[in-house]
Amino acid sequence: MRGKWHVLGALPFLTLFFLFFFFFFNLHIKTTLLSDNAVLIPPANPPAEFSLLIGILTRADNYDRRHFLRLIYGIQSSPIAKIDVKFIFCNLTKEEQRVLIALEILRFHDIIILNCTENMNSGKTYTYFSSLPRILPHHYNYIMKADDDVFIRLEQLASSLRPLPRADLYYGFVIPCASKNPFVEYMSGMGFILSWDLVEWIGESDIPANNREGPEDKLVGKWLTMGNKAKNRFSDKPAMYDYPGANGKCSHDLIPETVAVHRLKRWDRWLHVLRFFNVTKGLKPSKLYHID
């Protein structure tokens, strides 16, 4: 009996002791972490000079293509730009999409579903640009619209944008293919970039709102010309082009300074391109895989 009372009597002191110990230990861990961080943070990379959102217009059902493109862009980055890649499609139409796309969003956070009906040349590009200022959590310096059959080299793309104006800019591969004059017509839908002010203008002006029917890339050029916008235009030739032999004067051989190659609709073309640009050269030998 005496022993039991003794232990119970000591309980408050023990509790106090553990509380004190816990508090002190916690504090110690926090300060250690803080000072470690203080040493680790300063020499990190310089901040990005500008930001770019690449929206790849695709369809909800193209699961395999998205999976592949996530690999292609997931292994690339640029030291000078903050680049986000997202997949853009219109309203979901099938029951299974609501579950499968929800899984993708939970896992990858890289999908934007616009309020539109999937249909070539009926305003998806308009909905894309005009919705962004309302729906994005923050703005970007540049917004790109890209196809899902184009290979974009992010480092080269960022380097080509670096010296260009951050405002009133329309960048891409000018049509007609043989032309080098960026003011002649419009930039090909394979991949073109607008500065943020032009994206806001598309969302606010009546000109795009009243001219939504037609080939989407051509329309964007038309809006900008009608609105007397995009005084700064840049056609990135020969760094952007269609796959060799795929499309007449829009095509030429693969070249080292490439920014984007378009019309990669077949695996043999993707393989050729990925090999040419040494995309998998970084793979280190390992006992875990026999790859030769």
Binding site for ligand NAG (CB under 6 A): 91, 115-117, 256, 277-278
The residue written with tokens 């369809």 in the block is 59
Measuring CA to CA, which residue among 99, 101, 117 is closest to residue 109? 101
173 neighbors 236 (Cβ within 8 angstroms): yes
Q: Which is nearer to ligand NAG, 49 or 200 (CB)?
A: 200
* Helix 63-74 and helix 95-108, axial crossing angle in degrees, nearest 10: 10
Q: Which is nearer to ligand NAG, 87 or 89 (CB)?
A: 89
Query: 61 is written with which tokens?
Result: 């059902």
95/288 Cα distance (integer angstroms): 40
User: Nearest distance from residue 221's CB to ligand NAG, in Å?
Assistant: 25
Q: Which is nearer to ligand NAG, 124 or 233 (CB)?
A: 124
Measuring CA to CA, which residue among 51, 65, 116, 97 is closest to residue 270? 65
User: Nearest distance from residue 26's CB to ligand NAG, in Å?
Assistant: 47
- How many CB atoms neighbour CB 280 within 10 A? 10
122/124 Cα distance (integer angstroms): 6
The residue written with tokens 């009608």 in the block is 226
Looking at the DSSP assignment, which residues form a beta bridge with residue 35?
A: none
User: Nearest distance from residue 192's CB to ligand NAG, in Å?
Assistant: 24
Stretch (H or E) spanning 236:
none
122 neighbors 92 (Cβ within 8 angstroms): no
The residue written with tokens 């051509």 in the block is 218
Q: Which is nearer to ligand NAG, 37 or 91 (CB)?
A: 91
Q: Which is nearer to ligand NAG, 78 or 141 (CB)?
A: 78
Looking at the DSSP assignment, which residues form a beta bridge with residue 260?
A: 152, 240
Q: Which is nearer to ligand NAG, 68 or 277 (CB)?
A: 277
Beta strands at 260-262 and 191-195: parallel, antiparallel or unpaired: unpaired
User: Nearest distance from residue 288's CB to ligand NAG, in Å?
Assistant: 24
- How many CB atoms neighbour CB 255 within 10 A? 11
User: Nearest distance from residue 138's CB to ligand NAG, in Å?
Assistant: 21
Q: Which is nearer to ligand NAG, 37 or 93 (CB)?
A: 93
User: Nearest distance from residue 24's CB to ligand NAG, in Å?
Assistant: 54
User: Nearest distance from residue 59's CB to ligand NAG, in Å?
Assistant: 14
My answer on whether omega of the bond before 163 falls inside 30° of 0, hence cis, is no
User: Nearest distance from residue 131's CB to ligand NAG, in Å?
Assistant: 8
Q: Which is nearer to ligand NAG, 119 or 286 (CB)?
A: 119
